[in-house]
Chains A and B, each alone.
Chain A
Amino acid sequence: MPLKKTKERNHPGRQGKLIMPVFRNMTIKHKLISIIMLACIAGLVLAGVAFISWEWSTFRNNMVQNVSTQAEMIAENCKAALAFKDAEDTKKTLSALHVEPSIVFGGVYTKDNKLFATYYRDYAEIKVQPNELQSSGFSFNAGFLNVFKPIVLDGEVIGMVCIRSDMSPMYAMLKRNISVIIAVLFLSSFVAFLVSSQLQKVISRPILSLAKVAKDVSEKKDYSTRAIKHSNDEIGLLIDAFNEMLEQIQQRNLELVDAKEKLEVRVKERTAELTCANEQLTQEITERKKVEEELRKAEEKYRTQFEGALDAIVVADVKTGIIIDCNPAATRLVGREKSELIGKPQRILYPPEKIEGEFSKTFKQHLKGKQGQTLETQVITKTGGIKDVAIKANLLEIEGKKLLQGIFRDITENKKAEQRQAQLLKQLEKINQELEDFAYIVSHDLKAPLRGIKTVAEWISTDYADKLDDNGKEQMKLLVGRVDRMHNLIDGILQYSRVGRVEEEKVVVNLNELVTEVVDLIAPPENITITVENELPVIKCEKTRITQVFQNLLSNAVKYMDKPQGRIKVGCVEENSFWKFSVADNGPGIEEKHFEKIFQLFQTLTPRDEFESTGIGLTIIKKIVEMYGGKTWVQSKVGSGSTFFFTLPKTLSATDKEKQLLTASSRNASAP
């Protein structure tokens, strides 16, 4: 089956292929003749076919019409005979068909299709069988026309008339027509051939001459020849165009030779350019490879860092909060597998109170301009454990996706340590407070009996002056001296403990005036001079405390002065945000190993009896200065003197307005 199908399909194609090349290879002359002949024959055949078919159909219709009329008449005429079952009469009626030679059979059938009466033309008994009967109409069958008509009596079909007509006369006529048409066809084809073979020359001759010229031109390459024009039709136009073309070709040929030379030069140039570009490209590719290699290395490095980092790193999508990547430290931090984290929302890392909506609070904060900052929060492990973490997050953009990379540091231990420290500090403060209170109470309570002892001792010295011998008097004097020292010691402790315990009101103090007052109070011996090297600032502070600082420093310097000409200098320089005050003397100096010790409580470098000293003074200075946020230290050279330094922050300095107030008040005070 498929084979047959392809054959059928190929057939028309092959035919077309066979005909077309044959036609294509014909000369113009033959082509023209063939076209004219074909057109002629086609037209004639079409006309003939149309004529015959029209005649055939007309003839047939006429015949049907004719026989139908006959049948109708018979039906009408034998109506009564059939009703009264008179076969004789019916037959008589039918015999009228004799007038039409082509009718070979006529029959009347009863209602139940039984043959009632018949008529036959003399030759051949041709009968219409009951099964051929139709209710009405006609049929063509084996060269005969059968026409059927019902016999109707008073609206009721009582039988049927059938007439059979021979078609052979009609066929004979058809044959005759066809043969005439074929004869006409042959004759006219012959005439058409004669006419066309003469007329075709009108068209083919100029074309052939043109073809000859064209052939000459192409063979000899002689573009100077021209075709001769015969007529003014399309062929004449063609010849004109051909000549025009030849002329142009001639000209183009010249141009072409010229252009070819130019082109060669241009090709060389382009080749050179291309080579150059190619080299550049190669270089670029090499560079790009290098860059790519570097990039790969960088990425590898990042990976290594990412994977090996001690801090947990989690990368999440900014829009959805879905975790894209995390490192092993992250899995350790929350005790989940990598697969349990990637693809999940980042909020699963956090305890409920650190979550706000779809995201963690820190995630939102980092996105709201806090990126790059470290935020503290808590994470939750798989088992529900809470860990304190510090998160630093940065925005990344990878392949067009905005990501947030968070670096988590576990600060649970730090937090604990901080808490412990705070606790200790609190304890320490409490103990310190208790100690200070204790010192105050003790010294305060000790002072009263001591005063009593001193009073009694003085009573004894005055009341029993005449009874005591010199030795006794000396002993009593010693007693009073020791009691005084004890008194001073307790005073000192009291003062020390008061620093930081009792707060004073801060007032504006001109340090220049204050130093002058202190010097007056100390009243140094004549061989010692105290000078203020430069202008001291005006500050706002607790006056007694600062007085104490200067008093202690200056009195120490005076007290330990061992030179016949004592010089003490007070100075102040600005250093950063501090004032650095100095009190320098040319006293005995201090060994470097004692630089620390002298600021400790109850430490004196000289024997008690040589100088009346409690060893508290420097300690108090230190405490006061440190209370203001400053520092104290000493520089010294044994034998040539020492310089004590202390600093005070500039924040203490008084405003200009306060200074004015101060000067005004001091003027008022000094006016009377």
Chain B
Amino acid sequence: MVAIAPKARADSPSSQEYQVKAAFLYNFLQFVDWSEEKSADSNKPITIGIIGKDPFGNAFEPIKDKKVKGRSVIIKRFKSFEELKKSTGKDKPELGREIEALTKCHLLFICSSEQENLKEIINSVRDHNVLTVGETEGFLESGGIINCFVEENKIRFEINISAAERAKLEIRSQLLRLAKRIVEKDASQENKGAESSG
């Protein structure tokens, strides 16, 4: 009882931040429209994927039964990309399966732990109608769509419109109006260039 387990972080101040972030993820779902392929069947749940070292703890507990656009929401957690790569063998069929799972998500939250593999993750889902949300500096520049950050003790977010367009996502003006910064440069081309050069 005295020992502070990693899970106990959920009640710490940092976890309050993630409670707000969890609510933000749900709110993003409200103001973003997916292409027909992912929004056609209203019986299917909306999937939120979390990749990397999960910082939310039990932040989803109070809102997990909430419905968005009349659909229930499920949270799927993925191992960190590094780990995924290590665990799978040469053929990497498992990795392929995992990546396919990632592309099935509506929203993919990329934890700060994945800073290293950020580009790789974003590239693997960017053409699959997935809203990528991150919390690392330069997330938009890496091709991510929405990036959350803390300013004056408040959680703010910025949006990359070009990335959204590429992912065939429509972000509503109401959401756009609230974004602190809007990036219109298509980072993917740049990234591609960087990747090929690197």
Contact = CB atoms under 8 A, between A and B. Distances in A.
Interface of A: 77, 79-81, 83-86, 89, 153-156
23 contacts: A79-B174, A80-B31, A80-B172, A80-B174, A80-B177, A80-B178, A81-B174, A83-B27, A83-B30, A83-B31, A84-B157, A84-B175, A84-B178, A85-B20, A86-B178, A89-B177, A153-B27, A153-B30, A154-B67, A154-B68, A154-B69, A155-B70, A156-B66
Nearest to A80: B174
A156 B27 CA distance: 12
Interface string B127-161: 00000000000000000000000000011010000
Contact of B154 (A80, A81, A83, A85): A85
Contacts of A86: 178
Contacts of A89: 177-178
Given A77-B174, A85-B154, 6 more contacts: A80-B175, A84-B24, A86-B178, A89-B177, A154-B67, A154-B69
A153 B27 CA distance: 9
Nearest to A158: B27
A154 B24 contact: no
A638 B67 CA distance: 172
A77 B154 CA distance: 21
Interface size range of chain B in the complex: 10 to 19
Contacts of A83: 27, 30-31
Contacts of B155: 85
Interface in B45-81: 66-70
Nearest to A154: B30
A37 B154 CA distance: 75
A156 B66 CA distance: 10
A84 B70 CA distance: 20
Contact of A81 (B30, B70, B178): B178
In the A-B complex, the 5 residue pairs with the smallest Cβ-Cβ separation, listed nearest first, are A80-B174, A83-B27, A86-B178, A84-B178, A154-B30
Nearest to B172: A80
A154 B69 CA distance: 6
Interface in B16-34: 20, 24, 27, 30-31
A99 B177 CA distance: 22
A153 to B, nearest CB: 6
A72 B109 CA distance: 34
- Most chain A C-beta atoms within 10 Å of own C-beta, residue among B30, B155, B178: B178
B140 to A, nearest CB: 17
Contacts of A155: 70
Contacts of A154: 30, 67-69
Nearest to A78: B174
Contacts of B175: 80, 84
Contacts of A81: 174, 177-178
Nearest to A156: B66
- Most chain B CB inside 10 Å of its own CB: which residue of A83, A86, A155, A156: A83
A80 B175 CA distance: 6
Contacts of B67: 154
A89 B179 CA distance: 10
A149 to B, nearest CB: 17
A154 B67 CA distance: 9
A86 B31 CA distance: 15
Nearest to A90: B178
Contacts of A84: 24, 27, 157, 175, 178
Interface in B34-48: none
B63 to A, nearest CB: 11
Contacts of B27: 80, 83-84, 153
Nearest to A81: B178
Determine which residue in A77, A81, A154 has the highest number of CB atoms from chain B within 10 A of its CB, and name it.
Answer: A154
Contacts of B20: 85
A86 B178 CA distance: 7
Of A77, A85, A156, chain B has the most CB atoms within 10 Å of the CB of: A85
